[in-house]
Chains A and B, each alone.
Chain A
């Protein structure tokens, strides 16, 4: 009897987990329906030796300009310029920073918005700096 109850609990737990997973997989997440770049974006710029692989970008839209900050709270790099070309949803971001030694770093990011209708949309592309650093870039909207 005790053995049967134990198995029942395992089955119920597994099934409950399965139901939750299936619901999560099917129900679409809530979308943010305004300007496609607005929001907080978290991801990686692979191989960035100056600032590390992880990157957080916060962007907003005032009707004319895209503004924002890269790694707010830590590196606090203001976005110098950013643009969105709706034809292909191409994103271009430029920002000036300093490395740990205090020398100037200029970052250029080029990417493309993927999964535009979803709140969990992403931007994939490449980053490069003025010191030869370059790599894959991928951030997802939070």
Chain B
């Protein structure tokens, strides 16, 4: 092999390195960054990479008296989250001098999670990624209904837009248990792990290890796997319920993850697989059949596979998992979600959880694709 051949080889090798996907895509920040390593950086923006699943701001920071520069990558929330809090891709430009406060990467690389970004010349704080739900009306609006009186779970009236978001709980915890967690289901105190749900010893140990690893093994972020089970109703970008009354089914569409969908059949069918491809195969979303009990849609789901986490935070499940989900809309702005979990493979007894979601009116559901691990 002569020099030119070698040069070509190394050029493509460098391309291969550069194109290698990041191991962690949209993720629990603590999986990658250490909240015990606070960092404050002042420097000049060199590039703003406005992309899912995380926006990155690259900045040159002076190191030492000699004026040497080091380039840091500041990781921020997704474009959707930043836009919700007033950012746009034009908020920062190369050449802007900024001060960033955040936490440094666990692996010691020049990466930080940005908690605060201030433009040095104006003192304007431009990062405020706290996204709040829309305010509730002082007097609750009535539940929208179909002409036959059945509640409309998925919409308001023909032609109007909207979706469900802002779940009041973003990780599964048994009803009545107080176990504080962050938005990704990471326990504030690992000693609370046994309280979260009545886990068998192996499941508790596995859950604890997942927590100790800061949820970095989550297959939804790692491998773009669907968020089966109740996790669909815990995702921050929200979901849509599309009621197909002609064919007696409800579609659950998610605006994040791999943008997959689940079907809840309301046509009286059995749990046996009846659609080509789902005959008796365990599935990410299982097989859901539902019936109306008054104003509540009661979905019975089983036939899950074991290739996903069914909640933020990493509670284990097995293919013996059976879920009863009760969906109701007590008023215009609220979806109530009551869940019963029965999995004798992972838990010592059935248990339940409950939370609500808020209606986001007059808006399309934001789309946030996990993009097969490519960020």
Residues of chain A having any CB pair with chain B under 8 Å: 7-8, 10-11, 14-15, 18-19, 22-23, 26-28, 30-36, 38, 61-64, 84, 86-87, 89, 116-117
Contacts and interface: CB of A to CB of B under 8 A. Distances in A.
Given A23-B21, A30-B223, A63-B345, 4 more contacts: A18-B13, A26-B23, A35-B202, A89-B205
Contact of B373 (A27, A62, A63, A84): A27
A11 B12 contact: yes
B345 A11 contact: no
Closest 5 CB pairs of A and B: A34-B306, A86-B205, A15-B12, A63-B344, A117-B217
Contacts of B309: 33
Given A15-B13, A86-B206, A33 B306 contact: yes
B13 A86 contact: no
A8 B15 CA distance: 17
A15 B16 contact: yes
B316 interface: yes
A8 to B, nearest CB: 8
B20 A26 contact: yes
Nearest to B210: A117
A34 B202 contact: no
A35 B318 contact: yes
Contacts of A31: 217, 219, 223, 307
Contact of A22 (B20, B307, B317, B318): B20
A113 to B, nearest CB: 11
B16 A117 contact: no
Contacts of B12: 11, 15, 18-19
Interface string B107-149: 0000000000000000000000000000000000000000000
A18 B200 CA distance: 44
Interface string B1-14: 11001001100110
B357 interface: no
13 contacts: A11-B9, A14-B9, A18-B13, A19-B12, A22-B17, A26-B23, A27-B21, A28-B223, A33-B316, A33-B317, A35-B346, A38-B318, A63-B345
B16 A18 contact: yes
B182 interface: no
B306 A19 contact: no
A60 to B, nearest CB: 10
A31 to B, nearest CB: 6
A10 B5 contact: yes
Interface string B189-224: 000000000001110111001100100010100110
A83 to B, nearest CB: 10
